[in-house]
Amino acid sequence: MAREIKFSLLYRDMWQSSGKYVPMVHQLKQIAPVIIDMGCFDRVETNGGAFEQVNLLFGENPNKAVREWTAPFNKVGIQTHMLERGLNALRMNPVPADVRELMYKVKAKQGTNISRSFCGLNDPRNLELSAKYAKKGGMISQIALSITSSPVHTVEYYMSLVDKVVAFGADEICLKDMAGIGRPAFLGRLTKAIKDKYPHIVVEYHGHSGPGFSVASMLEVARAGADYIDVAMEPISWGMVHPDVITIQAMLKDAGFLVKDINMDAYMEARSLTQSFMDDYLGYFMDPSNKVSTSLLVGCGLPGGMMGSMMADLKGFHGAINSSLRNQGKKELKLDELVVMLFQEVEYVWPKLGYPPLVTPFSQYVKNTALMNLMHRLKGEPRWSTIDKDTWNMILGKTGKLPGELAPEIKQLAKEKGMEFYDGNPQDAFPNELDRFRKEMKENNWDLGEDEEELFEFAMHERQYRDYKSGVAKQRFTAELEAAKAKANAPIVITRPVIEMPKVDVDKIIAANPNAKPIQSTVKGQLIWQYDIIDKSSAPNIGEKVEANKPMCFVQAFYGLEEIKPAFEGKIVAICAKHGETVQKGEIIAFVE
C-alpha cells in the first residue's frame, strides 16, 4: 500500500530568507485563504525565527500578526508551527528560563500548534526546556536536528541527540538542513535510523535549495520514512529558499507516494498576491543573489539565507581592502574574488572553532570571524586578531558544548587573554527577568496584553519593543523604504484626499483649450487630460490658472475630478490605479519621465 507524504509550506521562511521585512498583517490575511484553497498543505510555518522582530521593526504589533495569521488555518485544521532557537528562543542571544516558559503559553494561545525547537550547537541541555515547556504550554514539541556535513556529524552523533530529546518528551523530529548541504544518502540513513528506533515519532525534513542537493534529499528521506516535507512556492521558491511544491509533488507522485493534488488556480492566485506584496515594499530589500543557487556553498557550508548580509558585508569592506592592497603595492581584488576567498576562509575557520553547525547565530559567528581573518590577512596581519564577544562566548562554552574539539591555537589564544572555559548548563547563567519587565510595564501604564503577550514581547525583544511603542520603528522603516524606492527609481506615489467635484463637459474644455493633450487612460472609466494652461471659465470649480509650461493633469473618474501636480519638472506620461483597479481615494500612481 502506498504511503502518504504531507507538505508543510514555509511561507514565513520564504520571506525571512529573501528580504528584510515580513508582509503586513493585512497581507497575511489576504494570502491565508488562498493557501488553504490550494488544498495541498497540512501544515504552514506561520511565525518564529525573526518574524516577530521584523514586525516590531516595521512598527506593527507582532501579537496581532500571529493571531490573525494563524486563525484561518486553525479553523480548517491546517497545523501551524513556529521556529525557536532553544536557549536563544526568538532572538540571537540567550533568554532567561521564565521568559522561555511564557513564550510557549503565549504562542499556544495565539494559535500556534507546533514548536520547532533547534539548538545551533545540538546541545541537548539547551533543548530540554524547549520540549518540556512546549508540552506544558499545550503545544506539540518538534525538536530539530541542525544538519551539517563534517567528520563529527555522523548518524551516531545525531541519534545520540534523538535519544535524549525523545526522553525529554519530544513528539516529533525535524531534520533542519538549514544550509541544504546535508548529503542525500546520509539524510536517508539518518531518517531510517530514527524511524526504525522510534516508529511513533513523526519526522519532517526541512532543506534549503542553495547548493542544489535538496530535491534529491527530499526523495531520499521520503523513501526512508519521512512524514512531512517542507516546500515553498513561487515567486520565492528555489534560489536560497526551498524547492517549489509543484516539483516535489510531481516527483513524489511519480515515485509512488500518495500526495495531495494542487489547486493550480489557487496556486497562481497565491503567486500573484505574493508578487504584489513584494512590489509593495519587500522587493526593495531583497538581494538578487537570494534567487540564485550556488555550488560554492557546498564547501563552506554557510546557509543561503546569509548570502544577502554576507554580500553587504563584503561590499562594505571591498573599498577598504583594495585601499590597503594599493598601499602595499599589490593587485586589487574583484568582489567575486573576495567571495571565493571568504568561502575558503570559512572552510579553514570552521573546524578550528569546533564544527558548530552553521545555523543562526553560530553561522554568523563563524562568518564574522572568517571575514575579519580575511581582512587582517590581506593587510599582512595575523589571523584571529579580531574575535567578537559573542563568538568568544561560543568558544568558551557559554552557549553550549561544541560538537568538535577546538584547535590548540584557539585554546592558547583564550589562555593568553585570561579567559576561562565554562562547562555548566548554559541556562543557569541567565537568571529570570519577567518580574523586572512586568514592573516597568506597570510603571509606564503599558497593557500586559491578552495572555500577557505584550509582556512577553517586551521581555523577548526589549530594544525593538521600545522603538515600536515610541513610534521610532515606523518612522525608521518609512525612511528606509523611501530611500530604497528612490535608489530603485520606483514610481512616485502621490497620496492625497480626492477632491469631489461635479463632472465637467469634456467637449467644452477641449474647445476652450485647443492645445490640450489627451493621454490614454489605463483604467476603464477614467478620462485623463494634460494642459499647459487651464481656462478657468471652462471648468469654474478647478481653481486659478496654472503657470505656462507647468503641466497639470486631471483625472476624470467615476466620482469626479482630482488634481495631480507633478512631483518634479517633467511630463506625467501615465496615471493608473494601484494593481490595475479603478482609482481609489488617496491612491493614485503617477509615472514621470
pLDDT for residue 366: 93
DSSP string covering 437-467? HHHHHHHTT----GGGHHHHHHHHSHHHHHH
Q: Where are the domains of the chain?
A: 296-428, 492-592
What are the DSSP calls for 339-406, one per residue? Answer: HHHHHHHHHHHHHHTT---S-TTHHHHHHHHHHHHHHHHHTT--TTS---HHHHHHHTTTT---SSPP
Helix, coil or strand: residue 146: strand
| 577 grid coordinates | 490605479
Burial class (CB in 10 A: 0-12, 13-18, 19+), 177: buried
Show Cβ contacts of residue 567 under 8 Å, excluding neighbours closer than 6 positions.
492, 494, 590, 592
**Alpha helix positions (H), 59-122:** 62-76, 97-109
What does the pLDDT read at residue 21?
65
Q: Which one, of 551, 545, 553, lies nearest residue 589 by Cα?
A: 553
What pairs with residue 118 in β-bridges? 144
Q: Exposed, middle or buried by CB within 10 Å (0-12, 13-18, 19+), for 418?
A: exposed
pLDDT at 508: 63
Backbone angles phi, psi at 4, to 5 degrees: -85, 140
DSSP 562: E
At residue 81's C-alpha, the angle toward residues 78 and 86, to 5°, is 165
Residues 6 or more apart in contact with residue 167 via CB below 8 angstroms: none
pTM for the model: 0.80
User: By three-state DSSP, how is residue 507 classified?
Assistant: helix
Grid coordinates representing 376 are 587582517
One digit per residue, the tens of pLDDT, for the chain of length 593 reads 789 999 999 987 666 554 566 677 888 889 999 999 999 999 999 999 888 888 898 899 999 999 999 999 999 999 999 999 999 999 989 999 999 999 999 999 999 999 999 999 999 999 999 999 999 999 999 999 999 999 999 999 999 999 999 999 999 999 999 999 999 999 999 999 999 999 999 999 999 999 999 999 999 999 999 999 999 999 989 988 899 999 999 999 999 999 999 999 999 999 999 998 888 777 777 777 778 888 888 887 887 667 667 777 788 888 888 888 888 889 988 988 988 898 899 999 999 999 999 888 899 899 999 999 998 999 889 999 999 999 999 999 999 999 999 999 999 999 999 999 999 999 999 999 999 999 999 999 999 999 999 999 999 999 999 999 999 999 998 888 888 887 877 665 544 333 333 344 556 655 665 555 444 344 433 434 443 334 444 444 444 443 443 334 444 433 333 444 433 333 333 333 333 333 333 333 333 33
Spatial contact of 295 and 212, defined as CB atoms under 8 Å apart: yes
Instruction: Enumerate helices (H) and strands (E) in the chain, giving the number of each.
Output: 22, 15
Q: Is 259 helix (H, G, I), strand (E, B) or coil?
A: coil
The conformation of residue 244, written as its DSSP 8-state character, comes to B
Given this model, what pLDDT does residue 403 score?
Answer: 96
Q: In what order do the strands lie in the sheet with 552-557?
A: 517-519, 527-531, 552-557, 560-564
